Amino acid sequence: MLVLADGTLFQGELIGSERGPTATGELVFNTSLSGYQEIITDPSYAGQIITFTYPHIGNYGVNSHDAESRRPFCRGIVVRDLARRPSNWRSMGDLDGYLVEHGVPGITGIDTRRLTLHLRDRGALPGAFGADEMTVRAAAKASTGTEGIDLVAEVTTDAPYMVGDSDAPFHVVAYDFGIKTTILRRLVGVGCHVEVVPASTPAADVLARAPDGVFLSNGPGDPTAVAGAAANVAALIGEVPVFGICLGHQIMGLGLGAETHKLAFGHHGANHPVRNERTGQVEITSQNHNYVVAADTVPGGAAVTHVNLNDGTVEGLAVLGVPAFSVQHHPEAGPGPHDASYLFAEFTALMTKAG
């Protein structure tokens, strides 16, 4: 059974890893119709249990190419119907076996429509699932959200590493707050030799590497809890071109003096409309975050460049007169269209101009 912190109970069947009697975490829902392997392996889900709103999950299997990180960091998954016989020419295995291999617990047979409506009305809630009702209820009651917890420390790399051709036109240092493999592929694809560094790397150490630009990655949880990150980014702005996405966007906002706050249930899906304030064009974006930059706290030295049309939240920032910008959504993702992929070219254009 699955139990939320408010006592709401759902019954289902356990799947995936059987490690430990219960799985605990903050429950959120993702509205994407496909891409479940990429979602499960997105480090931004550290500390959370993912509810898939699409009813059939696992139908095209899993493979060795679509993982976004070295392993899944989510606390578990919740699905309505786990496919028993995956079918796709790229499939190398089934989702249940993948969960077992990587120690990810799951539960199927859940009324995910009812669960999603409950989370929509009550907001993201801590919860737990497992086989013993008393143990699960106690774990759900004791489970906490993501506020004030540095989840980035759980997912960041232990040591720097390099990606791409050393002869590439641009040398980029990327802060790993929970970076995704596709982001690295996109940066390499626009001519970057990327040096990925731990989230705690001081700004002085980054500048000592003499990069052409600095990238601030996505990542999990509360941006105010990532120790030293905002101060490091503040020290980099104006010294070198900076591009941030998702958590990196929020941390850049903090570095500029803005504030962040937690949304009720966040943005988790592949169909979020975002208006580009400079062009008026609406872009369909992929998103995964619970926190946002508060619009009324953006300082005068920065401009809001993108706005979410569902709720009016800040989706992009640019520092006036300085080569630094960020977006809340995931421009590396392909939710069907590739409306936001131009942002990587904008980053290289800034580096070219600065050089």
Pairing of strands 324-327, 314-319: antiparallel
229-236 vs 247-256: helix crossing angle, rounded to 10: 70
Letter string b/e over residues 236-245, b meaning 16 or more CB atoms within 10 A of that residue's CB: bbeebbbbbb
Is 74 designated active site?
Answer: no
Give the active site residue among 38, 192, 246, 267. Answer: 246
Q: Which two tokens stand for residue 52?
A: 């898939």
Give the active site residue among 26, 195, 315, 332. Answer: 332
CB atoms under 10 Å from CB of 131, counted, come to 12
How far, CA to CA in Å, does 248 sit from each of 15, 53, 99, 111, 157?
A: 34, 27, 28, 34, 16
Is 246 designated active site?
Answer: yes
Q: Which two tokens stand for residue 133?
A: 């009702």
Cα–Cα distance for residue pair 106/320, rounded to 1 Å: 46
Q: Which DSSP letter does residue 46 get?
A: T
Cα–Cα distance for residue pair 100/149, rounded to 1 Å: 27
Is 192 designated active site?
Answer: no
Sequence-distant (≥ 6) Cβ neighbours of residue 71 within 8 angstroms: 41, 102
Give the active site residue among 249, 272, 329, 330. Answer: 330
Pairing of strands 22-30, 48-52: parallel
Letter string b/e over residues 99-109, b meaning 16 or more CB atoms within 10 A of that residue's CB: bbebebbbbbb
Residues involved in catalysis: 246, 330, 332
